[in-house]
């Protein structure tokens, strides 16, 4: 399936999934854990149909190989019986463009838990799994992950109505420019600055603090789970593969046996089958790992919302503090008493009191500033309340989604385990039959 030729420009190699059947793509949608029939998804079907490897020059004129993903959209009107569905609109996007989209959403909607992208590089891999970004299996899993990301955004009440998102799906050319025009880049910088700053909120919202704490816990436990699962996969792989040696030795042994020979020989084949079966089993299990990974990355999105809330709360508190200070100053000025030690108070004591006019103009300025401050505080208060309202609504939505998704992921994991057991029983029963014939 792969025929990469890095020598020529724009050489196209198709990686996986081009010959996907309709039932398979149906399954893919089921696998991606998104409820259908929500805002944008009600109007159109979205899927990442295939991935391609491309070689080309990048901005600094360096040769590079990258993967592009084909996004297909089609109107979700009901296809009449026997009629052919409308041909989809399709366009290619790189992973970096998905990243840009996500950053844009993250900055534009700080009160929303933005769905995470699939990992850029394979993490928590067990030894057999390739960590190569161009590995067909990895690309295929990422294709599923990217589709899942789009479906999650498209099913979100707020995000799905975003214009940039719509353009991402519909305009191949000029999309990047359109994103940059929004000026979100400036917000990125200020956002990053504020997020890295250390600040302490006096009156934190208990719910957000708890949510942040929870997302930390979830992050810890899922990463631990993924780490251990990788080790478990590694060991299980070993157990199965060592059984493959029986295949060889039974076959060699059968050569010197008369009555037992045939039974041994065919039992050996079953042992080979057993050893080989683990590849598919673990490949399938990677899907479960991907589901867990999505929630591992979600924890960052949750933390980001909580952090943003803290920031607004901090700004609010600073404003309030400032206002209190200004009011105090005004009082001092009006009564002439110094309650708080200040440099100004000192200078006035040292260099004599200021004139009446000076005092009055200062008082007026302060009053003006207090009025403004009160106005800003009011605005900030409203902003904060709004933020809390919308953010908490989204957090509630997220919690529900998480419980449902992870529950289903656990059930599908159990089903996988059952299928592994069934395979094992099948192979060993076949082998047993051969042994019995000996």
| By CB under 8 A, residue 276 contacts another protein | no
| By CB under 8 A, residue 252 contacts another protein | yes
The set of residues, in sequence order, having a beta carbon less than 8 Å from that of 263 and lying 6+ positions away, is: 254, 434, 435, 436, 437, 438
Calpha distance 271→268 (Å, rounded): 5
Place of tokens 């060699």: 252
| By CB under 8 A, residue 12 contacts another protein | no
Calpha distance 180→188 (Å, rounded): 11
Per CB under 8 A, the segment of 17-25, 71-79, 88-96, 429-437 that binds another protein is: 429-437
Q: How far is the CB of 413 from another protein (least distance, A)?
A: 7
Place of tokens 């998480």: 402
Q: How far is the CB of 243 from another protein (least distance, A)?
A: 7
User: For residues 222 and 296, is the Cβ–Cβ distance under 8 A?
Assistant: yes
Which residues on neighbouring strands pair with residue 70, listed in sequence order?
50, 92
Per CB under 8 A, the segment of 116-124, 346-354, 372-380, 418-426 that binds another protein is: 418-426
- DSSP SS3 for 128: coil
Among candidate residues 83, 8, 88, 106, the one with its CA nearest the CA of residue 53: 8
User: For residues 380 and 315, is the Cβ–Cβ distance under 8 A?
Assistant: yes
Q: Which two tokens stand for residue 342?
A: 């200040």
Task: Give buried/exposed letters for 151-164 (b at 16+ CB in 10 A, else e).
Answer: bbbbbbebbbebeb
| By CB under 8 A, residue 314 contacts another protein | no
| By CB under 8 A, residue 127 contacts another protein | no
Per CB under 8 A, the segment of 87-95, 216-224, 313-321, 348-356 that binds another protein is: 216-224
Residue closer to another protein (CB basis): 232 or 324: 232
| By CB under 8 A, residue 27 contacts another protein | no
Among candidate residues 361, 329, 356, 351, the one with its CA nearest the CA of residue 342: 329
| By CB under 8 A, residue 210 contacts another protein | no
Residues within window 396-415 making contact with another protein, judged by CB under 8 A? 403, 406-407, 410-411, 413-415
User: For residues 395 and 305, is the Cβ–Cβ distance under 8 A?
Assistant: yes
Among candidate residues 394, 393, 402, 409, the one with its CA nearest the CA of residue 226: 409
| By CB under 8 A, residue 20 contacts another protein | no
| By CB under 8 A, residue 195 contacts another protein | no
CA-angle at 151, arms to 177 and 394, nearest 5°: 90
Residue closer to another protein (CB basis): 167 or 406: 406
Q: Where are the alpha helices (DSSP H) in 257-355?
A: 261-335, 343-350
**The binder of another protein chosen from 27, 328, 386, 429 (CB under 8 A):** 429
| By CB under 8 A, residue 428 contacts another protein | yes
Binding footprint of another protein, residue count (CB under 8 A): 48
Residue closer to another protein (CB basis): 159 or 271: 271
Largest CA distance in the chain: 122
Among candidate residues 126, 34, 430, the one with its CA nearest the CA of residue 269: 430
Q: How far is the CB of 404 from another protein (least distance, A)?
A: 9
**Residues 231-250: x where in contact with another protein by CB under 8 A, - otherwise, as a string:** xx-xxx-xx--xx-xx--x-
10 class by beta-carbon count within 10 Å (0-12 exposed, 13-18 middle, 19+ buried): exposed
Residue closer to another protein (CB basis): 165 or 237: 237
Q: How far is the CB of 239 from another protein (least distance, A)?
A: 5
Residue closer to another protein (CB basis): 192 or 221: 221
| By CB under 8 A, residue 228 contacts another protein | yes
Q: How far is the CB of 264 from another protein (least distance, A)?
A: 8
Q: How far is the CB of 108 from another protein (least distance, A)?
A: 30
Q: Which two tokens stand for residue 389?
A: 């309202």
| By CB under 8 A, residue 417 contacts another protein | yes
Per CB under 8 A, the segment of 39-47, 197-205, 224-232, 300-308 that binds another protein is: 224-232
Q: Which residues bind another protein (CB under 8 A)?
A: 214, 217-218, 221, 224-225, 228-229, 231-232, 234-236, 238-239, 242-243, 245-246, 249, 252-253, 256, 259-260, 263, 267, 403, 406-407, 410-411, 413-415, 417-418, 421-422, 424-425, 428-429, 431-432, 435-436, 438
């Amino acid at each position: 399936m792969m025929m990469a030729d890095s020598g020529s420009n724009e050489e196209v190699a198709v990686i996986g999934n081009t010959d996907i059947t309709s039932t398979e793509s149906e399954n893919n949608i089921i696998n991606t854990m998104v409820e259908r029939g929500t805002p944008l998804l009600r109007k159109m079907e979205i899927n990442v149909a295939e991935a391609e490897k491309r070689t080309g020059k990048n901005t600094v004129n360096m040769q590079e190989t990258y993967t592009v993903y084909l996004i297909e959209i089609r109107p979700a009107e009901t296809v009449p019986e026997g009629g052919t569905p409308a041909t989809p609109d399709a366009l290619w996007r790189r992973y970096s463009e998905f990243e840009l989209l996500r950053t844009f959403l993250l900055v534009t909607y700080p009160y929303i838990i933005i769905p995470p992208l699939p990992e850029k590089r394979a993490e928590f891999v067990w030894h057999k799994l390739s960590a190569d970004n161009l590995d067909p299996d990895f690309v295929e899993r990422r294709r599923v992950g990217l589709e899942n990301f789009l479906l999650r955004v498209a099913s979100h009440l707020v995000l799905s109505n975003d214009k940039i998102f719509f353009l991402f799906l519909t305009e191949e050319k000029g999309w990047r420019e359109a994103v940059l025009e929004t000026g979100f880049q400036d917000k990125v910088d200020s956002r990053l600055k504020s997020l890295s700053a250390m600040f302490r909120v006096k009156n934190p919202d208990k719910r957000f603090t708890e949510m942040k704490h929870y997302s930390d816990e979830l992050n810890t436990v899922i990463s631990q789970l993924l780490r251990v699962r990788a080790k478990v996969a590694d060991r299980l792989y070993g157990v199965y593969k060592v059984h493959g040696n029986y295949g060889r030795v039974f076959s060699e042994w059968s050569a010197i046996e008369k009555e037992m020979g045939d039974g041994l020989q065919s039992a050996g084949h079953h042992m080979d089958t057993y050893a080989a079966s683990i590849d598919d089993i673990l490949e399938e299990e990677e899907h479960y790992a991907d589901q867990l990974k999505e929630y591992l990355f979600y924890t960052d999105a949750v933390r980001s919302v909580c952090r943003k809330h803290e920031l607004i709360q901090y700004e609010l508190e600073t404003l309030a503090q400032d206002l209190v200070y200004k009011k105090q100053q005004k009082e001092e000025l009006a009564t002439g008493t110094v309650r708080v030690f200040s440099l100004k108070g000192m200078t006035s004591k040292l260099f004599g009191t200021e004139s009446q006019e000076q005092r009055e103009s200062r008082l007026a300025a302060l009053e003006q500033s207090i009025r403004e401050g009160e106005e800003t505080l009011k605005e900030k208060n409203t902003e904060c309340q709004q933020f809390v309202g919308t953010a908490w609504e989204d957090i509630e939505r997220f919690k529900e989604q998480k419980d449902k998704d992870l529950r289903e992921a656990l059930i599908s994991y159990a089903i996988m385990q059952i299928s592994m057991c069934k395979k094992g029983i099948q192979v060993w029963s076949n082998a047993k039959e051969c042994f019995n014939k000996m």
